[in-house]
Structure 1
Amino acid sequence: MAICYELQHRLNPFYTGGSVKTLSNGSHVISMCHNSIKLVDLSTLATIQSFDEEEDTPITLAVSPDETTLGVAWRSLLIKQYNLITSTCTRQWKGHLGPVVAMDIDSSSSLLATGSADSTIKVWDMSRQYCTHHFRPGVGVVSIVRFHPSKLLLFSSSIDNNIRLWSLQDSKCIQILSGSHVSPVTTLLFLSKEGGDYFISGGRDQVINYWLLNDEKAELLKVLPVYEAVEGLQLIPEEVSGRGSVTVATAGEKGVLKLWDIENGCCLGSLYSLPESTGHVFSDLLYCHALQSLVAVASDHTLLLYSLKDKSVKYFVGNLDEVLDIKCISGDGYDEVAIATNSENLKVYERGAWSQCQLVRGHADVILCVDVNVTNEMIATGSKDKTVRVWRRNPSSGQYEGVATGRGHTMSVTAIAWAKQDNSFLVSGSLDKTIKLWNVKQLLLSKKTNEGSMSAMFTEAAHNKDINSIDVSPNNKLIVTGSHDKTAKIWSVADGKLMGTLKGHRRGVWSVQFSPVDQCVLTSSSDNTLRLWSVSDFSTLKTFEGHSNSILKAIFINKGQAVASVANDGLLKIWSVKTNECLTTLDAHEDKVWSLATPNDGRSLFTGSSDTTVCEWKDVTNEKRTQEKEKQSDFILKEQQLLNLLQDKDYERAVGVAITLDQPNRVLKALTDILSSSGIHSEPFHATIRSLNEEQLSCLLGYVKKWNTNSKYCRVAQSVLHVLLKIKDPDDLSKISNISETLTGLIPYTERHFDRLSRLQQLSTFIDYTWERMSLSDQNH
């Protein structure tokens, strides 16, 4: 039996930029993802609802306070209103001449405000479906619109950086707050406290303004410089902040979450900051009352959940981007997957959970390769920043901490591998065409708390072109490298001496790996083939052909008895080492599959692709084999039961068993015998048809459709139809699966049989007439 794998889990993107909204329960978010809007459960990252539009892209969205209505503005200029409970689009219309870039829904969940690039603002009654207000600021793109929570006021700001107050009661602009900001206003907050109503505005001019709103007129009370462009601003409730004064949190271009005391005009400190070396910033800031947490949206599409109660931080990666490498980490009490994506942060997920992600920070550029040591407690990574880094898992916290850094490569580190028997060394390959063997044994045994430096035991100019892959033999004595120069080479660990060159591929070699059980090497190439090479004489032992595109990764699985490979076309193939045959082909991804890994238990496969997804495939070979055996045993028992029933002439039960076994010939024989012995109007024939369930009737009708095409068996087919139409209501028959297709096939042949019998009846009548006339003639003579 072939090796069988089934898709166990797919890690899909859920946020690729744009607006994000959190729901009141704190466990769900609504986000933009490519050409759709997704409602995502953060506990599993599963998509609960998805609102998709073909060939259209969302620009902005708004969620009603009662969380029943979703408003979305699309690039096609359509505004759509969705019901979040029924997941249906309740209304769509074209409201502006330009794209809608700002939206808000009022506190009653009945009015929707839209601000457009056509310099207009419109307010829509969502229940009665008409435009209630049309405002014309006339100064370019309207960047923000906000309803006041308790007054009939609408606030807006445009590219002139002024805040405008619009009266919904008088349908006019009642005040323009000019000169308060000198850059675009990005956020507005409203609050009511003893002494009146207030609001806070923040913008990219690095200031926060505190306003008093009295008799629908705004008065500037305080200007607070924050020394960075403000992209997100949230009010912290007094019961959470523990302060009597107004406290807000800001997030902006420096990637720092800060707390500010507005009334006293001071900074209360930083809560969290993104590493400056990454260059990432915060693009939005939300507050979740249920969790008492801030949700910061980073420019790398990561959602950061910061708890104000216990100061803990959780990461939710909205978009993995291109997945470059994957390795599995299994230890005592933990089972994780390390993923290198198009990012300088290594992402570590817990298998089975897949929701929260641990970001391992330290590299200054994209991580290209990753490997896990034999004890599953350390990770080595290679990056575009030309360094090799080693990370150790802290057993108490489960966090990975930097242990050592290796510098010396002059270009990106593209391949890395640990020693197989111990942690004495690791090897790396680079775009500078060299390999380095790093001594890490003494460094890892030391008790230093700070990150140390690794020294290279040797450096060898290995290939004429880029090195794509590297591996260490199970006995720690050999190294194999694969390169774009169409060769793989084997090196000695002891002195770095070249032992042999594996020549035969017609294009670049993408991956190499030593067999865990035999003295051979597996290579994959852009020439669409896999090869097994002898370590002793460097000759080709076997060639695997079947892929139609470049094979980007190949590994041994099933204790070296099989090979898994992934290619440029997104396919995953499983091969038998013994027979060279492709056992299974799985349609894994929609783009190039760069990464392939298997955990120590060998029961799963992980694939990562340029389509920004990671798939976990479960080996279900044993389960399938068990099911096949059970199915075969059940078939033998039912086959014997059927033979016994036919011998006893218990046709009523025999027909049901024969249908279950999918044996139409025996069904036909049993029905024919009943008709021959009892006739169509007999109770045995009716009882046989009546005893069948809906699924069996569906199968029987399929047989009848086939029998009806042959005049030899049409009598049985028409008899079954006659009884079915007599004992079953039309409504019951309409519920049978594929009934429309069955009737389409039955009607033409039934009409043909009817015409044939009609002609036969006419002919028989003519014979009777002729005989009668002949009788009369004899009497006359």
Structure 2
Amino acid sequence: MEGKNCFRTRWTQEPIFSGGALASLALPVSDPAASSALSTSAAPEECLVMACGDTVNVVRATSGEVLCRYTLPVEDVILHIDAVTVPKASDDGGKDATSGDEGEARAKRDASAAEKSATTKKAPKKKAGAGKTVKPIEEDEENAGQAEKKVAVPSVAASSSDAAASQGDRELAAPAGSYVAVGTRSLQVYVLRVDARVESPASPSPSPSAEKGVAADAASEKGNAAGAEGDDADVVGAATASGTLVLYSIELQRNWTAAQHAISVVHFSQSGTYLVSGATDGSVKVWNVFHHHLTHNLVCAHSSLVQSVCLDPSEAYLAVGSFEGHVTVFDFVAKRIVAAGRPHVQAVESMIFNDALTHVYSIARDRRLALNKMMFSENRKSTELKEVRAIAVKEHVSSAAFESAGLLHVGAMDGVVSTYRVSEDEAVQLVRRLPKPPSADAEDGAEEAFVRSLLVAGVPKGTNMRRLRDSVVQDAPHAPDTSSLYVGDAGFSIQHLCPSSAERSQYEVARTVVGFLDQLLDVKLFPEASPLHRAVVTNSKDVRLYASDGCVSSKTLRGHSDVVLCCAVSSNGAWIATGAKDKEVRVWSTESCETVVRGVGGHTAEVTSLSFNGRQTDTYLLLFSVSSDENVRMWDIGVPLAERVSAKQPRSRVEEIQHRSGVNAAHTGPIYTVAVAPNDQYVATGGKDKSVNVWNITGKKMYREASLKGHRRGISSLAFSPVDRVLASASNDGSVRLWSLVSLTCLKSMQVDRTSVLQVGFFNNGTQIVTSNAEGVLRVWAIASSESVWAAEAHTEKIWALAVEERPSSGETIFYSGAADGVLIATEDYTAEEVARVKEDRHQMILQEQALSNALRKGEFSEAFMLALRLSHPRHLRQVLVRWCAKDARQCENTLRGELLPALDAEQMTRLLQYTREWITNSRHCTVATLVLYVLISSHHFEAVAQVPSMASLIEPLLAYTRKHSQRQHDLLRRTYYIDYVIRGLAPNVLTSLPPFVHHGEGRREEPPLAKRMRVE
């Protein structure tokens, strides 16, 4: 199939997380009837909600798959995010899915507040018994503040207070569904709705590629429907193992300007009814989003930035924490301050009320855990916030989250995550801790380890008493032994922490969702039999290992003190080598993710490229490295690794070795790339000096074989052919050259433009090569013709990393390209699938064309008409109509009007009109076109015809040519009159008594006077 390749994007790993807050949703995926809300029969799964710049992403927590995303319609920055899942009302009596105790407490609270609120002025209209003032969102915020002081709650009879409050709660409750709220820098609050709809598959047992195609088509159709909100809504389809297709969509519900300064905090209530927004000017507002009301306009005693808020589940009190350490408690019913204080001197990260609503627990970045008691006076009009206890935690707090009043999770600036058991009268106990990562000990390593956000796993807000796919969410908080967390760090990764199976006092990282790759520098693939799939090198000190497609990383290699630049994987997938700017070469075990061999003293500058030898055994394993110091080094690591495997060396020991052989000053400039021949005979190096040096390996020694010259700029990549004695070199001059290792001459030179070619690789049994350049273009070349057979602008920046995977078991060929834009794309070759599809289409077309010929021969014009239309054969379709009219014009017209044309769909109707437009332009075929138009107009209502797609572009030429042919026919008819006149004028005289042009049998006419006189004479 050389020169006929077809490629498509298989999957893409894009930036999805920029280090802000995290939230979670419970999305149903198994009940088609519950497309937007949870039902008792559904088995929802937990999904993470995160922001990246101005985009909201909903990600499956287990696999890291992006289910749907929404981009803000204007350029903006998302500062905070929250989400809630409102369950569907249960079937027993229409009770809400929230707990009955909570509803009863809310009803009693509202009734009590209503009895205590006396009014002298007319109050705004409210829901009966709700005990809350409602105000349209669109009204002026200053008026809202004035109206707040005039609020008067009508008295409620004690006998009916519970029922009235319950009815008011149901009226003001949020509709069932999953919702996301975001606050932005430009003062806006956006509320989005996430839906999941289950559809039946298009075919009983589609192939994986077919499933992707169906999902893409369905997602495209849904995206067009969602486009009413603009091009920012996104829909993603995912095919499940059972064959069903789940469509996830996210759409904008509404947005509004919520403050006069940037929105720093948004927080849904547990019921989803209220949304609390805090701004950088210290203002706090509470909204009933789903009923378009501003319910609270609260003013804190301070003007500092709102850092955190906490609304207790019974919606009795609201606590607000500021960036300067203030804690303010509001009565959520009376809308006034009931307690205020400054227990901290830095930003308050998290707060929670105890079960009795008498204490407020708070923790801030000043490392103080404060237990504050609300001291109510007798008339409950003034209170103070009294600090009962203050405990200093060990960590430098950067983020914190209360799972309950007795369980606190703390994230530190050095990456440590700790869980504490908190009590009012007992000492704080450490339950579990994630040790500090090794990279945090470096001078600049703490930047990526910095914990930015914490989220308790398995407890999406609003999902009380709901069963998730992997866990059960209960009203009671998790026991300390079962708590798990999602931790977002400054390296834009999200770690899922679970209790360690080996040590219960420690956390272990179950998986990591990589939210942002930054610049990709290298990608290497593991063999098909390995449990790992690929190793990805970014401009970081860590190397991430992935076991599957997507953004979930299973392992991380940590140990280098500077940015890692390159890596190489052994043929058995057991060892991986890395080179970094710290001038070190390390060999890691992929099983333990620990350094087993460390090469020292080999290079004096950053290591730029690595490569293992081709024919590897347990004891014969060579590693070649090149550096900017112009040196080439060969490391014999087979013996140390063999001794480690045979347990002769302790597994915790790192073997330090010197290079076995090497060449100093191998080039006259930095060396960028190294490649080893499959038969281990040659090693090729290339660098800034524009030359390709070939080295011969003999007895673990390196000898110069040749220096190949021809490129006009530096060499960026080298690759040996897997089947021929050919070496490919890519250069910054924009060309790719093929060199013969027999004659040591250039065989071919391939070039399209002068854009730097950065990577090159062979595939398809060495008959084709793939290259990447500095403009983000992937290009496939056919070696036999030296031509580019396929190209795609896959990236927007330089493609530094390119790997080719050929799977013998499935026959698949996949390119993995990573660029400076932080995107990793897997591009698959589906040539075989496309060839099979074209072959099948051609076979079906031959069968249908034969059926068309048979129908014409048998005189079955109705069937022939539909076959010709389905095959898109306008010439055959016209011939069918011509023969049909010649045989029986009346039957043709009646059949078209009564049977065929009414049965056409919109696509077939458009196609028929397009053919008619082509026919009517030719005077020889205008009769057929006129017949089709006449039958179409007489069989369809004009409104139905007007709804045909692209009808406007078809009507204009049809009208023009119809008018033209009508005029031509009338002119032709008039010309026939002259023929009659000439024929009669040239005819011989006939003996008759009648004057000329008087026919026999026309009756007697009065003889003209002149004729009468001549006859008499």
TM score, norm. by length of structure 1: 0.91
Of 526, 532, 535, 1:338 maps to: 535
Q: Deviations over 1:491-511 (max 9, x none)?
A: 233433322222111112110
Shift of 1:478: 1.8
CA RMSD of aligned residues (A): 3.0
Corresponding residue of 1:317: 514
Shift of 1:415: 0.3
**Would you say the 8 A contact 2:50–2:57 is kept in 1?**
yes
Query: Are residue 712 (structure 1) and residue 924 (structure 2) matched?
Result: yes
Query: Are residue 364 (structure 1) and residue 576 (structure 2) matched?
Result: no
Distance between the aligned counterparts of 1:763 and 1:122, measured in 2? 86
Of 773, 789, 802, 1:596 maps to: 802
Point out the structure with max Rg over C-alpha: 2
Corresponding residue of 1:426: 623
Relative to 1, partners in 2 of residues 1:87 and 1:556: Cα closer, same or farther, differing over 3 Å?
Answer: closer
> 1:363 is aligned with what amino acid?
H
Corresponding residue of 1:282: 451
> 2:416 is aligned with what amino acid?
V
Distance between the aligned counterparts of 1:568 and 1:138, measured in 2? 53
> 1:111 is aligned with what amino acid?
Y
With 4-13 and 117-126 compared, the bigger mean Cα shift is at 117-126
Shift of 1:688: 5.2
Query: Are residue 671 (structure 1) and residue 690 (structure 2) matched?
Result: no
Listed as ranges, the gaps of 5+ residues in structure 2 are 27-43, 87-176, 196-248, 377-382, 460-470, 472-482, 502-506, 985-995, 1000-1004, 1012-1017
Corresponding residue of 1:109: 272
Relative to 1, partners in 2 of residues 1:90 and 1:635: Cα closer, same or farther, differing over 3 Å?
Answer: closer
Query: Are residue 564 (structure 1) and residue 770 (structure 2) matched?
Result: yes
**Would you say the 8 A contact 2:269–2:313 is kept in 1?**
yes
Corresponding residue of 1:457: 660
Of 71, 74, 95, 1:52 maps to: 71
> 1:418 is aligned with what amino acid?
F
Relative to 1, partners in 2 of residues 1:761 and 1:190: Cα closer, same or farther, differing over 3 Å?
Answer: farther
Q: Deviations over 1:592-614 (max 9, x none)?
A: 21111122536222111222222
**Would you say the 8 A contact 1:232–1:286 is kept in 2?**
no
Distance between the aligned counterparts of 1:137 and 1:754, measured in 2? 86
Corresponding residue of 1:211: 372
Q: Deviations over 1:475-504 (max 9, x none)?
A: 212211121222221123343332222211
> 2:930 is aligned with what amino acid?
Q
Corresponding residue of 2:474: none
Shift of 1:695: 4.3
> 1:200 is aligned with what amino acid?
Y
Q: Deviations over 1:441-463 (max 9, x none)?
A: 11111122122123201232222
Shift of 1:52: 0.9
**Would you say the 8 A contact 2:316–2:332 is kept in 1?**
yes
Of 389, 412, 420, 1:252 maps to: 412
Which structure's relative contact order is higher, taking Cα pairs within 8 Å and 6+ residues apart? 2
For residues 687-766 of structure 1, the aligned pairs below 5 Å read: 687=899, 689=901, 695-729=907-941, 733=945, 737-753=949-965
**Would you say the 8 A contact 1:120–1:137 is kept in 2?**
no
**Would you say the 8 A contact 2:511–2:552 is kept in 1?**
no
Corresponding residue of 1:229: 396
Distance between the aligned counterparts of 1:26 and 1:199, measured in 2? 32
Q: Deviations over 1:128-147 (max 9, x none)?
A: 42433141545333323332
Q: Deviations over 1:609-663 (max 9, x none)?
A: 2222222222222222222222333333333333333333332222222233332
Corresponding residue of 1:529: 735
Distance between the aligned counterparts of 2:980 and 2:386, measured in 1? 112
Corresponding residue of 1:82: 192
**Would you say the 8 A contact 2:513–2:551 is kept in 1?**
no
**Would you say the 8 A contact 1:294–1:308 is kept in 2?**
no
Shift of 1:296: 1.0
Corresponding residue of 2:241: none
Query: Helix, strand or coil for the counterpart of 2:419?
Result: strand
Distance between the aligned counterparts of 2:430 and 2:551, measured in 1? 36
Distance between the aligned counterparts of 2:966 and 2:281, measured in 1? 70
Corresponding residue of 1:240: none
Query: Helix, strand or coil for the counterpart of 1:307?
Result: strand
Corresponding residue of 1:499: 705
Corresponding residue of 2:759: 553
Corresponding residue of 2:98: none
> 1:420 is aligned with what amino acid?
G
Percent identity, please: 24
With 551-560 and 219-228 compared, the bigger mean Cα shift is at 219-228
**Would you say the 8 A contact 1:679–1:685 is kept in 2?**
no
**Would you say the 8 A contact 2:340–2:385 is kept in 1?**
no
Shift of 1:676: 2.8
For residues 71-470 of structure 1, the aligned pairs below 5 Å read: 71-85=181-195, 87-131=250-294, 132-178=296-342, 180-192=343-355, 196-213=357-374, 215=376, 217-236=384-403, 246-263=406-423, 264-275=427-438, 276=440, 277=442, 278-279=445-446, 280-290=449-459, 291=471, 292-308=483-499, 310=501, 312=508, 313-332=510-529, 334=531, 336-352=533-549, 355-394=552-591, 399-408=592-601, 409-422=603-616, 423-447=620-644, 448=649, 449=651, 450-459=653-662, 460-470=664-674
Distance between the aligned counterparts of 1:517 and 1:136, measured in 2? 75
Distance between the aligned counterparts of 1:286 and 1:414, measured in 2? 39
Query: Helix, strand or coil for the counterpart of 2:75?
Result: coil
Relative to 1, partners in 2 of residues 1:752 and 1:338: Cα closer, same or farther, differing over 3 Å?
Answer: same
Corresponding residue of 1:474: 678
Relative to 1, partners in 2 of residues 1:749 and 1:680: Cα closer, same or farther, differing over 3 Å?
Answer: farther
Query: Helix, strand or coil for the counterpart of 1:636?
Result: helix
Query: Helix, strand or coil for the counterpart of 1:420?
Result: coil
Number of residue pairs aligned between Structure 1 and Structure 2: 766
Distance between the aligned counterparts of 1:114 and 1:331, measured in 2? 51
For residues 603-614 of structure 1, the aligned pairs below 5 Å read: 603-614=813-824
Distance between the aligned counterparts of 2:623 and 2:300, measured in 1? 66
Relative to 1, partners in 2 of residues 1:49 and 1:758: Cα closer, same or farther, differing over 3 Å?
Answer: farther
**Would you say the 8 A contact 1:491–1:499 is kept in 2?**
yes
Corresponding residue of 1:241: none
Shift of 1:544: 0.8
**Would you say the 8 A contact 1:196–1:212 is kept in 2?**
no
Corresponding residue of 2:126: none
> 2:594 is aligned with what amino acid?
E
Listed as ranges, the gaps of 5+ residues in structure 1 are 238-244
> 1:282 is aligned with what amino acid?
V
> 2:6 is aligned with what amino acid?
C
Query: Are residue 63 (structure 1) and residue 83 (structure 2) matched?
Result: yes
**Would you say the 8 A contact 2:607–2:625 is kept in 1?**
yes
> 1:19 is aligned with what amino acid?
A
**Would you say the 8 A contact 1:196–1:214 is kept in 2?**
no
With 295-304 and 747-756 compared, the bigger mean Cα shift is at 747-756
Corresponding residue of 1:18: 20
Distance between the aligned counterparts of 1:690 and 1:541, measured in 2? 64
Corresponding residue of 1:242: none
Corresponding residue of 1:578: 784
Distance between the aligned counterparts of 2:741 and 2:873, measured in 1? 55
Query: Helix, strand or coil for the counterpart of 1:254?
Result: coil
Distance between the aligned counterparts of 1:525 and 1:355, measured in 2? 34
> 2:702 is aligned with what amino acid?
G
Corresponding residue of 1:543: 749
Shift of 1:303: 0.8
Corresponding residue of 1:509: 715
Query: Helix, strand or coil for the counterpart of 2:694?
Result: strand
Query: Helix, strand or coil for the counterpart of 1:697?
Result: helix
TM score, norm. by length of structure 2: 0.70
Distance between the aligned counterparts of 2:903 and 2:281, measured in 1? 70
Relative to 1, partners in 2 of residues 1:765 and 1:322: Cα closer, same or farther, differing over 3 Å?
Answer: farther
Query: Helix, strand or coil for the counterpart of 1:679?
Result: helix
